[in-house]
Structure 1
């Protein structure tokens, strides 16, 4: 593993919002886009980048409302992420299809986008996510009622006395985190408040649930439209295994949507496989991304 590879950040206007985009590697190296998950930011990929054997230009945005990108401080509309990704690819890869790597929410965005714009994606790796549980139309009135209440509230995130306290909380939530990795994440996925306390660098409005139920059929249709090769990395003790058992019809139905699919299991990892087993993740990605 490369010792603490340095990243650099630039500010970019994306559809009228200030976006923070993190880069690792030389600008003329083969580009690959890393897309982070919910309540996270681009720095989450530091350990995977350090484990990459080849030279890559890793381009990792902070999604709107995360990290150093602009926060709306009001409810978010999920399709904006697809449009933001489209704009980012137009800026950084205007003339060639892009390699996409997405973790959790970022994997859901990458998968759906790859079906909507198949000509813009050459390969897509989806890390420990396989869509969400199908929503029920019967839940629509209750969800909308809860959302209406939520938009009148003032959402807050939990605060910590300092970075060390946040690092301890991260290790409590994920015992696989080493002290060094927890300390890095505590300083790089958080922000310091005026009173010196620390909180995660995420707009608390992201915790407000969407007003409409999730429609699985829409996602499956997008997956069926993907023409690029797909890699699904499943954590041994992650979300996919927990939500979609391998012997279930639901799991088989989802996998059957992908025309060109490779599935690999990351041993000894929970949902945040990029933290738990970055060497395994990096090796699987490079084996997949270098196929062509």
Structure 2
């Protein structure tokens, strides 16, 4: 599978962008979660070949993208960053997928740019999940208790196994390779801005909080919400509420998956995404067959 990496200078920061697939194919942009990275979507990108140009980028403060010295890690800024990336790449219309924090950003963007987003996939995110779920409590606790550095790779691996017990070891190691770097003090430290992101998550500016409800109502494209059957973040009643708000929203639950569906059940998640995005092509084929 063809892969391309580039750096875009936008809004005073350097953004690392990764693409998979034919550059002339239909584009889909993918947004990772709060401590994620572009590479997390590689298996989904493979499942969408051929036929899709998959574009993912390390959002500010993560991966190979610059950290924000002002700790400006809020939804409005992430959405503005997405708009800058899309504009720079010259994308007029595309599909959009987001996980967790990326899902929040994707909802707001799709609602604000209905002419650009053809189809929307939300992985385990929605109104109430960020504020009031057990998963939100877990994430805040993790930010408060995560070590700044590790003495060894084994120590980091042990920490990640305790943090993500249901995730495949291969996925955990991939995550660590993308999330850690050698520390000047020896051992390893985080590649993402743990201090800045934690400060924003634990002590946010409440005036910049986003109410997702009006944005969910405003979505004007076909939308698929995918929930992990064991997720502690997006609850079934939250999904039902989203569908009540907007009839264009479909829902799918993948059993034996937690909040990180694309890590816990990568094949099922990739198949669900592929089926949804290729639906028109499939229906057209059926009409021809008749």
Same fold (TM over 0.5): yes
Q: Does 1:206 align with 2:197?
A: yes
CA change 1:213–1:267 in 2 (3 A) is: farther
Match of 2:64 among 61, 65, 68: 68
Which stretches in structure 2 are left out of the alignment for 5+ residues?
Answer: 133-144, 281-290
Q: Does 1:289 align with 2:282?
A: no
- Pairwise CA RMSD of aligned residues? 2.5
Shift of 1:75: 2.5
Local SS of the residue matching 2:184: coil
CA change 1:17–1:268 in 2 (3 A) is: same
User: Quick check: 109-118 or 49-58, which moved more?
Assistant: 49-58
* Partner Cα distance (1:135, 1:169) in 2: 25
* Partner Cα distance (1:256, 1:163) in 2: 46
Q: How does 1:141-290 map to 2 (within 5 A)?
A: 158-203=148-193, 204-208=195-199, 209-212=203-206, 218-241=211-234, 244=235, 246=236, 248=237, 251-290=239-278
8 Å Cα contact 2:32-2:100 kept in structure 1:
yes
* Partner Cα distance (2:154, 2:42) in 1: 19
Which stretches in structure 1 are left out of the alignment for 5+ residues?
Answer: 137-154
* Partner Cα distance (2:152, 2:61) in 1: 22
* Partner Cα distance (1:279, 1:134) in 2: 26
8 Å Cα contact 1:124-1:229 kept in structure 2:
yes
Shift of 1:158: 2.5
Structure holding more helix per residue: 2
Paired residues, what number?
A: 263
* Partner Cα distance (1:163, 1:173) in 2: 15
8 Å Cα contact 2:27-2:94 kept in structure 1:
yes
Per-residue CA distance 1:137-156 (angstroms, 9 max, x = gap): xxxxxxxxxxxxxxxxxx99
Local SS of the residue matching 1:113: helix
- Scaled by the length of structure 2, the TM-score of the pair is 0.82
Local SS of the residue matching 2:148: coil
Instruction: Report what 1:103 is aligned to.
Output: 99
Instruction: Report what 1:20 is aligned to.
Output: 16
CA change 1:262–1:93 in 2 (3 A) is: farther
* Partner Cα distance (1:240, 1:259) in 2: 22
